[in-house]
Structure 1
Amino acid sequence: MSIRDVASFAAGHWIAPDKTAREIASAITGEVIARAGTARLDTQAMLDHARTVGGPALRAMTFHDRARMLKGVAQHLEANKHLLYDLSFDTGATQGDHLFDVDGGIGTTFVFASKGRREMPDSHVYCDGPVEHLSRHGSFLGQHICVPLQGVAVHINAFNFPVWGMLEKLAPTLLAGVPAIVKPATSTCYVTEAAVRLMLDSGLLPAGAVQLVSGGLGDMLDRLTCQDVVSFTGSSTTAHKLRQTPALVANSVRFVAEQDSLNASILGPDVLPDTEEFDLFLKEVQREMTTKAGQKCTAIRRILVPQAQVDAVIDGLRAALQGVTIGDPRAPETRMGALVSAAQKRDVLQRAAQIGTEATRVFGDPDAFAVVGADKDRGAFVPPMLFHCPDPDQAIHVHETEVFGPVSTVMGYRDLDHAVALANRGQGSLVASLITADPAVARDVTLNIAAYHGRVYINNATSMKEATGHGAPLPHMVHGGPGRAGGGEELGGLRAVKHYMQRTAVQGSPEILSAITGTWIPEGPEYTTPDHPFTRRFGQLRIGETLHTKPRQVTSADITQFAQFTGDTFYAHMDDDAAARNPFFPGRVAHGYLLLSFAAGLFVQPDEGPVLANTGLDSLRFMKPVQPGDSIKVRLTVKAKTPRNADYGEVRWHVSLRNQNDALVAEYELLTMVAR
C-alpha cells in the first residue's frame, strides 16, 4: 500500500512533508497510510500572503460577490464529494457518518452563500442596527457598521470532522472578507487536504484566500496581531494553553473556542414507556452514542431520566445498542465504525474506566465484542458502552470527564429541579436535549438550563418527523456554549460572519453616513430626475433618487366607501363621537390602509415598465391620524438596491406620507423587483 504524502499549501505553493513528518495510520487496519508535517513552513510568509494578497482581494469583493463564490465552491465540492467519501473511510467513518461531515460541510457552505445574498447588502459595509438620532434636528446621526478585519483567521480544527469542521468556520470567514489559514488535526488531515485541493481547483478562490497547514503551526500564533482571529476546536487543555500565548494576550487577538462538552439529554417526567416520545428518546440516545463512534462534540454523554424510568431506559437502550453492527465502515452492514486512531482508543478506554469508578457498565464489554470485516485488535474499534450511575449527586467523573467515544451514562432524577441541577453540573455545554410533550416542562427546564447551554433542543411526537436531532449543529443557529464548552459561538447565521468583522460606530451628517453605508437615510440628500423612477431600470436608479407627489384630499365619502368596500367598519372610522372618546383620535379618522392605498395611487406609474412586482413592505408606522378634509402627499425615495439575479434586482423604497401641515402621517419601506 502506497503512503500518501499530505502537503501544506503556503503562500501559493504546495509543500510536501519532510523527514519531520508524522505517520498517520488507518483507523481500520492500523497500517500507515499517510504522513504529514514539515519544518520548512515560513509562517511569516504565510501570514503576509494572507494579509497582503488574500485580504485585499476578498475585501475588493462585495458580500454578494463572496456569497456567489461560496456557492460555486460548494457546487464544486458537491460534484466531487465521492473523492472525500473514499478517503474518509480510513478515519473510521461510515457512509452515514459522511453525511454529517462531507455533506454537512457542503450544506453549511450553501446556507452561508444563501444568507449572504439574502440578508447582507451587495456592498462592502454591513449596517448593524438602525440609525441612531444624536441631535435635535437630525443633522448629526450615528450608525454601527461592520467591516472585515484586515488580518487573517487561523482555524485550528479537531480530528472528528475533517470537512465540516473546516467549512463551518471557513464559510463565514470568507463571507466576511477575511482570508484563512486552515490547520486540521494531523490524524485526519489527508481528508481536509483533499477538500482544499478541490476548492482551489475550482478556480473561484482569490489567491491568498485559503492556505493549509498539514502538521504543526510552528510559531504562527506568536506572530498574530489585533486584526487576526484564532478559532479553535478541541480539548479544553489545549484551548487553555493556546489562550495563554503571549502574543494573543498582548495583542488582544480574538480567540473563539469550542471545547469539551458533557452534553445531557433529559427524558421529561410526562414521558412513559410505550409512548412515541419514549421511543424517540431511545432513538436519539442510540444515534448520538454511535454516530461517528461517539466522536462528536455534541454527543449525549449524560442521560437524565425520572428515577421510575431508569430500568426501562436501560433495557430499551440495551436492545437498541445490541442491534448496532461494528466493523469496517466500507461494509454495507456496518452501523458503527472505528475510533480515529489507536491513541484515541486508549484514551477512550482510560476515561471509560474513570466513569466505571462511579457507575456500573450495563452494556458493552470492550474485551468481548464482534467486529465485521476487520481485525478488532489492529483497528481502533470499541463497542458502545452504557453506564448507570446510581448516585449522580455524589459522582464527580460523570460530570467532569468527557469520554470522546461511544460512552454514555444513565442517571435518575427525583424531580425537574434535580434534573436541571444535574444538567448544569456539566458547567457549560454545547447542547442539552429534552424529550417532552408538556409545554410547561419545556418552559421550566429551558429557563433554568439555558444559562449553562449554547443550544436547547426540544423534541416530541409533534416535531419528531422533521427535527434534525440532538447532535446536529445547524448553520442557522449558534454552535457553542459557555464555561467548559469554551464560551464561544460559531455558526448562528450572520453572527458567525461578524466574528471576523469589526463593529464600528460612525457618526456624522446624513449625507456622510449615506455615502459610507450605501443606504439612503431619511434626512439625507435627495436626487430628482425628469423621468418617473418607475420607468427607470435597476441599474439606472440612484440611491437617494426621489419622487414628490401632488397632494390628495381625504373626504368623509372616501372613508365611508372604503369601510363599506372592505368591511372594516371599526368605530374610529364610522362614529365621530365614539372616536372622540378614544385618547388616540380627535374624532372620526381615515383607515390606515386607506392612506396606503391612496399613497400608491399617488406614486405608482401605471404603464408597463421595468417595475415587475411589489413583494412587500417593512417597518410600517402610523404617526398621526388623518381626518376628513386633511390632505396627504408622498415622498418616494430609493433607499437601497440589491441584485437578485441577471434579470432583476430588489429596490427598497422609503415611503413617507405627510399632511397639509407637512406633519409626518405614516412611513414604511416598499420592496419591488425591478428589471436590470
Structure 2
Amino acid sequence: MTIMKIASFAAGQWVAPGPNARPIHSAISGAQIAEAGGAALDMQAMLEFGRNVGGPNLRKMGFHDRAKMLKALAMHLGKRKQELYDLSFDTGATQSDHMIDIDGGIGTVFVFASKGRREMPDGDIYIDGDIEQLSRNGTFLGMHIATPLQGVAVHINAFNFPVWGMLEKLAPTLLAGVPAIVKPATASCYVTEACVRIMLESGILPEGALQLISGGTGDLLDRLGAQDVVSFTGSAQTASMLRSNPNILKNSVRFVAEQDSLNASILGPDVEPGSSEFDLFIKEIHREMITKAGQKCTAIRRIIAPETHVQNVIEALSARLEKTVIGDPRAEDVRMGALVSAGQKQDVLEKAALIGTESALVYGDPDDSSFTGEVDAGAFLKPMLFHCQSPDSATVVHSTEAFGPVSTIMGYRDIPHAIELANKGEGSLVASVITASGDVAREMALGAGAFHGRLYFNNATSMKESTGHGSPLPHMVHGGPGRAGGGEEMGGVRGVLHYMQRTAIQGSPDILTAIGNRWVPGSTEIEGPSHPFTRKFGELSIGETLHTKPREVTLEDIEQFAHFTGDTFYAHMDSDAAKRNPFFPDRVAHGYLLLSFAAGLFVEPNEGPVLANTGLDNLRFMKPVEAGDSMKVRLTVKAKTRRTDEYGEVRWHVTLTNQNDELVAEYELLTMNAY
C-alpha cells in the first residue's frame, strides 16, 4: 500500500512531511495509510504571508464580492465531494456520516455566501445597530461599525469532522475579510488536506487567503498579536493549555474555544411511552450515539427522563441499539463505523470505566467484537448505555465525557430537578427537550438557558422538519458556557463579527454618512439632475433628495378611503369618540391613506428604471393629520445594494411633514432599480 504524504501549505508553497512525520492508521484496518508533520515550517513567514498578502487581497474585496467567492467555492467543492467521501471511510465514518461532514460543510459555506449577500452591505464597512443621537439638535451623532481584523485567524480543529470543522470556521472568516491558517487534527488531516488542495487549485481564493498546517503548530502561538484570532475545537485540557499561552495572554489575542460538553436530552413529563414524542426521544438518542460512532461534540451524553419512565427508555433504546449494524463503514447496511483510531478507542474505554464507577452498564459489552466485515484490527466499539441511579450525588457522570458511543440515563422527579441535573454539566453546547408543552419549554428555557449554548425543543408538530439534536446550523450560534469553552461560532453574521473589530464612531451626520456610505438624517442632501425614479441604479448618489409639493388632506378624502377600504375605525369617522382618545384632537386621516398620498406625490408614473416596490421598513407615525392639514414628502437615497448584474436594491429614507414642518411619519422604502 502506498503511504500518503500529507503536506502543509505554507507561505504559498506545499511542504512535504519531514523525517519525524507521525504515522496515520486506518480506523477500519489499523494499517498505516499516511504520514504527516515533522517538517520545519517557518511560522513567522506563514503569519507574514497571511497578514501582508492574504489580508490585503481579501480586503480589496467587499462583503458581496467575498460572498460570491464563497458561493463559487461551495459549488466547486460540491463537484469534487466524491473524492472526499472515498478518503473519509478510513476515518471510520459511514456514508451517512460523510453527508454530515462533507455535504454539511459545503452547505454551511453556501449559507454564509447567501447571508453575506442578503444581510451585509455592498461595501467594506459593516454598520452594527442604529444611529445614536448624542446631542439635542442632532449635529453630533454616534454609530458602531465593524471592520476586518488585520491579522490572521488560526483555526485548530478536531479529528471528528475534517471538512465541516474546517469550513464552518473558514466561511465566516473569509467573509469577514481575514485570511486563515488551518491546523486539522493529525488523525484525519488527510481528508482536510485533500479539501484544501481542491480549494487552492480552483483559483477561486486570492493568494494568501488560506494556509494549512499538517502536523504541529510549533511556536505559532508565541508569535500572534492583537489583530490575530485563535479558534479552537477539542478537549478542555488542550484548550486550557493553548489559552494560557503567555503570548496570547500578553497580547489579548482573541481565543474562541469549543470543547468538552456533557450534553443532555430531557424527556418532558407530558410524554408517555408509546407516543410519537416518546419514539422521537429514543430515535434522537440512538442517532446521536451511533452517528460518527458517538464522536460528536453535540452528542447526547446524559439522558434525563421521568423516574417512572427510566426503564421504558432503557428497554426501547436497547432494542434499537441491538438492531444497529456496526462494522466496515463502506458496507451499505452498516449504520455505525469505527472510532478514528485505536488510541481514541482506548480513551473511550477508560472514560466509560470511570462512568461505570457511578452507574450500571445496562446495554453493551466493551469486549464484544462481533462486527460486520473483516475489521478485527480496526477501532470498532459497540455502544454502551449506563444507568445512574443516584444522579444527585454523582460527580463523574456530570464531568466525564467518553467521546464515543457512550451515554448515561438518569431519572428526575419534576421539572426543577431535571433542570438541576442538566445544569450539573457546568455548561454544555446543547440540551434537547422533547415536549409538546409550552409551559415546560418556557420553564426549561428560563432554568437551563444560562448553562447551554443551544436549547432544542422537538415534538410531533416539528419532528418531520427538525434537523436533530446534534446538528449545529450556520444560521444559529454554536458554542456554550463553562465546560463547553465559553465560545461561540457561526450564528450567521454574528459569526462573521468574531473576526472583525467593533468601533464606536462619533461625529457629525456628514461624517457618519461618509464612513458608512449610508445616508444619515441631518447630513447634506444632494439635488439630482432629474427625478430620481428616472435614473438607473448606478446613476443615483447617496443623499440624493427629492422634495415634493404639499397636498391638502380633506374630510372627503378620509371618508372615501374609509368606505373604500372598509377601515371605519372610530378615530377616522366619529369626532366625539376621537376627541375622547388621548392621541387624537379630532377625526384624523388613516396612516395608510397618508402613505398612499405620499406615493402619489413622489412616484414618477412612466416606465423607467424602477422595476418594483419590494416593501418598507421601520414605519412610524409621529403626529396625527386632521382634515384641512397638508402634507409633503422628502425622499432621499439612503443606501444602495447590488443584487444581480441587472438590478440593485435602493433603500429610500422617506419623511412626511405637515404645513408646520412637523414630522408626521417616517419610513424606509425599498425598490429594485435597473442597473
Question: Is it true that 1:428 corresponds to 2:415 in the alignment?
Answer: no
Q: Which residue of 1 aligns with 2:315?
A: 315
Give CA deviations for 1:412-458 in whole Å, capped at 9, x if unaligned: 11111111111000000000000011111111111100000000000
Q: Which residue of 1 aligns with 2:137?
A: 137
Aligned-pair distance for 1:177? 0.5
Structure 1: runs of 5 or more not aligned? none
**Partner SS for 1:656:** strand
Residues 18 and 39 of structure 2 are in contact (CA less than 8 Å); yes or no, is this contact kept in structure 1? yes
Q: Which residue of 1 aligns with 2:263?
A: 263
Higher mean displacement: 57-66 or 437-446? 437-446
CA distance in 2, matches of 1:374, 1:342: 16
Q: Which residue of 2 aligns with 1:533?
A: 532
Question: Is it true that 1:372 corresponds to 2:372 in the alignment?
Answer: yes
Q: Which residue of 1 aligns with 2:165?
A: 165
Equivalent positions of 1:233-382 (< 5 A) are 233-376=233-376, 378-382=377-381
Give CA deviations for 1:485-529 in whole Å, capped at 9, x if unaligned: 000000111110000000000111111110110000111111112
Equivalent positions of 1:645-656 (< 5 A) are 645-656=644-655
Q: Which residue of 2 aligns with 1:198?
A: 198
Question: Is it true that 1:128 corresponds to 2:128 in the alignment?
Answer: yes
RMSD, matched Cα: 0.6
Aligned-pair distance for 1:39? 3.3
**Partner SS for 1:440:** helix
Question: Is it true that 1:6 corresponds to 2:30 in the alignment?
Answer: no
Give CA deviations for 1:60-100 in whole Å, capped at 9, x if unaligned: 11000000000000000001000000000000000000011
Higher mean displacement: 312-321 or 37-46? 37-46
CA distance in 1, matches of 2:481, 2:559: 59
Aligned-pair distance for 1:124? 0.5
Question: Is it true that 1:511 corresponds to 2:489 in the alignment?
Answer: no
Give CA deviations for 1:610-647 in whole Å, capped at 9, x if unaligned: 10000000000001111111110101011001111111
**Partner SS for 1:368:** coil
Q: Which residue of 2 aligns with 1:38?
A: 38
Aligned-pair distance for 1:56? 0.6
Q: Which residue of 1 aligns with 2:582?
A: 583
CA distance in 2, matches of 1:64, 1:545: 24
Q: Which residue of 1 aligns with 2:63?
A: 63
Q: Which residue of 2 aligns with 1:612?
A: 611
Letter of the 1:88 counterpart: S
Give CA deviations for 1:117-140 in whole Å, capped at 9, x if unaligned: 000001100000001111111111
CA distance in 2, matches of 1:624, 1:230: 52
Letter of the 2:438 counterpart: P
CA distance in 2, matches of 1:229, 1:374: 44
Q: Which residue of 1 aligns with 2:563?
A: 564
CA distance in 2, matches of 1:99, 1:68: 24
**Partner SS for 1:577:** helix
Q: Which residue of 1 aligns with 2:221?
A: 221
Residues 299 and 470 of structure 2 are in contact (CA less than 8 Å); yes or no, is this contact kept in structure 1? yes
**Partner SS for 1:539:** helix
CA distance in 1, matches of 2:117, 2:291: 33
Letter of the 2:470 counterpart: G
**Partner SS for 1:481:** coil
Letter of the 2:147 counterpart: V
**Partner SS for 2:190:** helix
**Partner SS for 1:33:** strand
**Partner SS for 1:640:** strand
Higher mean displacement: 390-399 or 665-674? 390-399
Letter of the 1:662 counterpart: D
Q: Which residue of 2 aligns with 1:108?
A: 108
Question: Is it true that 1:663 corresponds to 2:673 in the alignment?
Answer: no
Give CA deviations for 1:185-241 in whole Å, capped at 9, x if unaligned: 000000000000111111110100000000000000000000000000000000000
Question: Is it true that 1:545 corresponds to 2:564 in the alignment?
Answer: no
Aligned-pair distance for 1:594? 0.4
Give CA deviations for 1:521-549 in whole Å, capped at 9, x if unaligned: 11111111231100100111111111110
Letter of the 1:225 counterpart: G
Q: Which residue of 2 aligns with 1:97?
A: 97
Letter of the 2:567 counterpart: D
Q: Which residue of 2 aligns with 1:450?
A: 449
Aligned-pair distance for 1:375? 2.3
Letter of the 2:24 counterpart: I
CA distance in 1, matches of 2:524, 2:16: 58
CA distance in 1, matches of 2:629, 2:4: 81
CA distance in 1, matches of 2:136, 2:415: 53
CA distance in 2, matches of 1:202, 1:595: 54
Q: Which residue of 2 aligns with 1:386?
A: 385
**Percent of pairs with identical residues:** 71
Aligned-pair distance for 1:305? 0.5
CA distance in 2, matches of 1:399, 1:37: 36
CA distance in 2, matches of 1:305, 1:155: 38
Aligned-pair distance for 1:475? 0.4
Residues 15 and 39 of structure 2 are in contact (CA less than 8 Å); yes or no, is this contact kept in structure 1? no
CA distance in 1, matches of 2:529, 2:4: 68
Q: What's the TM-score, normalizing by structure 1?
A: 0.99
CA distance in 2, matches of 1:381, 1:327: 7
CA distance in 1, matches of 2:246, 2:576: 75
Residues 324 and 336 of structure 2 are in contact (CA less than 8 Å); yes or no, is this contact kept in structure 1? yes
Letter of the 1:647 counterpart: E
Letter of the 1:599 counterpart: A
- Aligned pairs, number: 675
CA distance in 1, matches of 2:94, 2:41: 34
CA distance in 2, matches of 1:239, 1:403: 17
Letter of the 1:172 counterpart: P
CA distance in 1, matches of 2:499, 2:627: 54
CA distance in 1, matches of 2:43, 2:178: 18
Greater than 2 Å deviation, 4+ residue runs: none
Give CA deviations for 1:256-302 in whole Å, capped at 9, x if unaligned: 00000000000011111110000000000000000000000000000
CA distance in 1, matches of 2:444, 2:513: 46
Letter of the 1:541 counterpart: L
Give CA deviations for 1:542-565 in whole Å, capped at 9, x if unaligned: 111111100100001100110010
Letter of the 2:136 counterpart: R
Aligned-pair distance for 1:175? 0.3
Aligned-pair distance for 1:373? 1.2
Give CA deviations for 1:164-200 in whole Å, capped at 9, x if unaligned: 0000000000000000000000000000000001111
**Partner SS for 2:147:** strand
**Partner SS for 2:537:** coil
**Partner SS for 1:463:** coil
CA distance in 1, matches of 2:510, 2:418: 57
Letter of the 2:418 counterpart: A
**Partner SS for 2:351:** helix
Q: Which residue of 2 aligns with 1:399?
A: 398
Residues 543 and 638 of structure 2 are in contact (CA less than 8 Å); yes or no, is this contact kept in structure 1? yes
Aligned-pair distance for 1:17? 0.3
Residues 6 and 16 of structure 2 are in contact (CA less than 8 Å); yes or no, is this contact kept in structure 1? yes
CA distance in 2, matches of 1:239, 1:402: 15
Letter of the 1:622 counterpart: F
Higher mean displacement: 424-433 or 411-420? 411-420
Aligned-pair distance for 1:374? 2.5
CA distance in 2, matches of 1:375, 1:52: 49
Structure 2: runs of 5 or more not aligned? none
CA distance in 1, matches of 2:661, 2:556: 23
Q: Which residue of 2 aligns with 1:476?
A: 475
Give CA deviations for 1:340-364 in whole Å, capped at 9, x if unaligned: 0000000001111111111111111
Residues 232 and 239 of structure 2 are in contact (CA less than 8 Å); yes or no, is this contact kept in structure 1? yes
**Partner SS for 2:24:** strand
Residues 16 and 39 of structure 2 are in contact (CA less than 8 Å); yes or no, is this contact kept in structure 1? no
